[in-house]
Structure 1
Amino acid sequence: MILDPNERRFPPFKLTRLLTTCFGKGNGEKVCVLIDLPNPADIEDFKFLDDETLSIQNYGHEVFYKGFKAGALAEMNWTGGEIYAYKETGGSNLDMEDECYDPEGHQLSLDRDIYPNYDIILTVSTFSATAPLTAKCKEFGFRGATLHGLNQIILDSGLAVDYDAVSEDAEKLRLGLTQADRFEIDFQVEGKIYTLILHTNGQEAQKSHGLCPPGKPDVANLPAGEVYFVPESAEGVFPFKYDESTIGLLHVKDGKIYKSQFVYGDYAEIEAHNARLADDPMTGAIGELGFGTQVLPFSGRDIQDEKILGTIHVATGRDDHLGGNITPDLFKEHKNASHDDVLYAPHKTPEIRLPEARMIKDGKTEVLIRHYKPAEFMLRLLEAELPVEA
């Protein structure tokens, strides 16, 4: 079903403002749109538009592909504007199959026909493609953005903001958190407190800020707005919400989850998780700690909600796209080599309280977050002026 333009809109001026801010003033760059489909051949004659379950891909067609055809390309001084489909990977940040299709029904190759021939690649998908595209951009030299889970709330808010301002706020928080020794996060479930400790050992903090200027192959994750680390080790216990009825406690040592402990709900979920951990221990590797930096409405999609100030996310799995050493070849099976964010936010995990998150740096402890709200330290960082050299 084609999206109703009266209900699902992203004005052309917002599209050009977003892309010009993220990628810089155009200079004839060639751009394309990638979407994922259960059957990528269904892009032929845009058959997928009749499937109401493919709303994300519909946005890729309506907002980006049709927006380019309606004049955005010329306004930005870009060329191209084609759209292609690849097979849905089935998991977050899993490597993509090489086969893809165009609307004329031609079977193509991402490595042969797409990556070498485009300067900017925008991927609107169900599952995040940030990790595989980050690897491919370094190999082929393109820039791009991943926009998985797109919905109207994200279009109206997370993609409608000034990314120069987003980048500035992310840098303020990055400078305040960088080179921390460790982070301690307290979680409360069923009246009991559990603590996860993540060691960063003076590591430079990184930021997802939405800017991908010319001159360097890179892939932005949009909406953006977070400061993140690749922990060198971790230990402790933290809760995990399997579904609306099941909570488990994940036990961590030496940087990996090694078991899940039942709290309430469906015990079979806990057993299944423990079986996966036993079969492939790398699925429990802690690959990221992230802090949101933006003031945004909750969208119901982690891609935006993890960027909201006061939220925290801990990711498991591969982290090579973030500068870490957990690569897909370390997993027992390809399907296990995902990067999965575990988001803690009041709307998503109301059963899990977040009494406090702390940073230990240079022998000093700073409280960052209390009850899903930024503490005074983080607010002071945001109010400060950036150093001139930043």
Structure 2
Amino acid sequence: MPSIAALPDYLHEEILLHPENRKFPAFDLVRLLGTVFKPTEGCRVCILTEFENPASLIKDFSFLKQEGFPVQKKAHEVFYQGLKNGALEALGMTGGEMFAYKSTHGSNLDLEDDVWDTAGNHLSLDRDIYPNYDLILCISIFSATAPLTAKAKEFGFRGATLHGLNDIILKSGLAVDYHEVSRDAEKLRFALTKADSIEIDFALEDGRVLTAWLGLNGQEAQKSHGLCQGLTPDIANLPAGEVYFVPEDARGQFPMKYEDGTLGVLEVVDRCIIHSTLIAGNQATIDAHNARLQDDPMTGTLGELGFGTQVLPVSGADIQDEKVLGTCHLATGRDDHLGGDIVPEMFKKHENSTHDDILFAPHKTPNFNISQVRMKRGDQEEILIENFRPSRYLMEALAEGH
């Protein structure tokens, strides 16, 4: 058995209990891009962001003079200015331009082709951006990982999606050593790969325990580990640190906390959510979800099961918070960017073809607890998580090689 005592400081008990006390190095754009995208020499890089009115807001950076737009302003301050003020030269890159597209209003929806530069010129993503840049950094409100993954394969670029960027993420999830992140993700990927099934028990405040069963059929686990090196077209989702599967089957029940705080129980049959029942809150929210499931059943398809692999503070943005060790998440909708079979054309409406994560974490879902997560792999049965804490099995996996 590997010695858990040999784990690095950030995996010790006191830091797992209080990840906000973990010490991180100062954010360094050169280190981040150099590590994630090695090699960078000779690469042409640009930044994409989104606005409801991109033509007027990106021209002459007029959004900087207006209230709001915290993500876009952070993209300008840290990435655009950082590239222009030394990072391009240090990394041997060129470009650094910033462009804006029209907001998608949904997670992982395909982008419209229209895009504007800071001089106000109306351009085309397919004609002017994707073929002409080697690295594309998309710093947006809504995730663009799925559409950019498809475009990267088509046009041959690499890149990263950093939706929801904020100061906490910059000081923690983007300040880490991504070689370490990749190593830890691979250790946990190996510990979970070829699982036959996963069961998750959810303990509700009223004493009920709901169980969701996900059939994985021995598939290889995949990882989001932050390294997008070499010249193979690919998109990194940053912050990274996740092991994930594309479920082949699912059944049972799990709780859902809606955006307005309403709590419901979701019924799952044959990998699809078929109905929601109110626990507490607004019945109209439940009714609206059920109507959507009735109108377009594909919106209830479970397309992902993911487990966090990093020790990070809560950022308030799921892009980081779903990467925290001891949490897990499900996702509904398209999963083609994860190697799955759910593509946008299968939905009744374009705006329905999202990929929406449902994160289970103490800060996000305090009304219910993940009392236990179990894995079956052949004759092997392992506990993975108990009460939002990684099990000894996972900690021993992380201790391998230390």
Q: TM-score w.r.t. structure 1 length?
A: 0.95
> 2: CA distance between counterparts of 1:84 and 1:157?
26
Q: Give 1:13 shift.
A: 6.9
Question: 1:264 offset after TM fit, Å?
Answer: 1.1
How many percent identity over aligned positions?
61
- Give the whole-Å Cα distance in 2 for the aligned partners of 1:193 and 1:308: 23
Q: Which of 292, 310, 315 is equivalent to 2:331?
A: 315
Contact map agreement 1:12 1:67 (CA 8 A) in 2: no
Deviations along 1:314-340, one digit per CA (max 9) or x if unpaired, are: 000000000000000000000000000
Change in 2 beyond 3 A, CA 1:12/1:250 = closer
Which residue number corresponds to residue 112 of structure 1? 127
Which letter does structure 2 place at the counterpart of 1:349?
Answer: T
The residue identity in structure 2 corresponding to 1:34 is L
Q: Which amino acid aligns with 2:331?
A: A
Distance in 2 separating the partners of 1:364 and 1:25: 41
- Aligned residues of 1:12 and 1:72 also touching (Cα < 8 A): no
Task: State the AA in 1 paired with 2:389.
Answer: K
Match of 2:143 among 120, 123, 128: 128
CA distance in 2, matches of 1:317, 1:345: 21
Q: In the TM superposition, what whole-angstrom CA distance separates every residue of 1:144-187 from its partner, at most 9, and x where no partner exists?
A: 00000000000000000000000000000000100000000000
Q: How does 1:335-350 map to 2 (within 5 A)?
A: 335-350=351-366
1:26 counterpart = 2:43: no
SS across alignment from 2:28: helix
Q: In the TM superposition, what is the alpha-carbon distance from 1:214 to its structure 2 partner?
A: 1.8
Could you tell me which residue of structure 2 aligns to residue 138 of structure 1? 153
Deviation at 1:262, TM superposition (A): 1.1
Give, as a single letter, the amino acid of the residue that structure 2 aligns with 1:332. K
Match of 2:292 among 264, 276, 295: 276
Q: 1:203 aligns to what?
A: 219
Match of 2:229 among 213, 217, 227: 213
**Number of equivalenced pairs:** 377
* Equivalent residue letter for 1:38: E
The 2-side partners of 1:13 and 1:153 are apart by 11
SS at match of 1:202: coil
How many Å separate the matches in 2 of 1:365 and 1:356? 13
CA deviation after TM superposition for structure 1 residue 194, in Å: 0.3
Contact 1:31 1:80 in 2 (8 A): yes
**Aligned residue in 1 for 2:350:** 334
Aligned mate of 1:230, from 246, 252, 255: 246
Equivalence for 1:64: 79
Q: Does residue 165 of the first structure (1) align with residue 180 of the second (2)? A: yes
What corresponds to 1:377 in structure 2? 393
CA offsets, 1:115-167, max 9 Å, x none? 00000000000000000000000000000000000000000000000000000
Secondary structure of the structure 2 residue equivalent to 1:117: coil
The secondary structure found in structure 1 opposite 2:292 is: helix
Question: Shift in Å at residue 71 of structure 1?
Answer: 1.1
CA RMSD for the aligned pairs?
1.3
Relative to structure 1, the CA distance from residue 316 to residue 13 in structure 2 (aligned partners, 3 Å threshold; closer, same or farther) is closer
Distance apart, 1:12 and its partner CA: 9.5
Give the distance between the partners of 2:380 and 2:356, measured in 1 at CA. Answer: 31
Shift of 1:191: 1.3
* Equivalent-residue separation in structure 1 for 2:39 and 2:351 (angstroms): 39
Does the aligned pair in 1 maintain the 2:27–2:170 contact within 8 Å?
no
Aligned: 1:239 with 2:279:
no
Aligned to 1:262: 278
Deviation at 1:188, TM superposition (A): 1.2
2:171 maps to 1:181: no
The answer to whether the 8 A contact 2:107-2:144 is kept is yes
> Is 1:357 the equivalent of 2:384?
no
The reply to whether residue 286 of structure 1 matches residue 274 of structure 2 is no
**Candidates 375, 383, 386, aligned match of 1:367:** 383
Find the counterpart in structure 1 of residue 67 from structure 2. Answer: 52
Q: Which residue of 1 aligns with 2:314?
A: 298
Q: Give the Cα–Cα distance (whole angstroms) in 2 for the partners of residues 59 and 237 of structure 1.
A: 39
CA distance in 2, matches of 1:372, 1:51: 41
- Residue 244 (structure 1) shift: 5.1
Distance in 2 (CA, whole Å) between partners of 1:12 and 1:343 is 28
Letter of the aligned partner of 1:17 in structure 2? R
Are 1:290 and 1:313, in contact at CA under 8 Å, matched by a contact in 2?
Answer: yes
Distance in 1, matches of 2:273 and 2:316, equals: 26
Q: CA deviation at 1:53?
A: 2.2
Q: Does 1:93 align with 2:108?
A: yes
Question: In 2, are the aligned partners of 1:331 and 1:337 still within 8 Å (CA)?
Answer: yes
Give the distance between the partners of 1:333 and 1:284, measured in 2 at CA.
14
The separation in 2 between residues aligned to 1:37 and 1:12, in whole angstroms, is 29
The one-letter code matched in structure 2 to 1:50 is K
Q: Secondary structure at the match of 1:134?
A: helix
Q: Which runs of 5+ in 2 are unaligned?
A: 1-23
SS of residue in 1 equivalent to 2:150 = helix
Q: Larger deviation: 235-244 or 126-135? A: 235-244
8 Å CA contact 1:223–1:304 kept in 2: the answer is yes
AA at the equivalent of 1:380:
E
Q: Does 1:36 align with 2:50?
A: yes
Worse-superposed segment, 45-54 or 344-353 = 45-54
Task: Give how far 1:245 is off.
Answer: 3.5
TM-score, structure 2 normalization: 0.92
In structure 2, how many angstroms separate the alpha carbons of the residues matched to 1:76 and 1:297?
Answer: 29
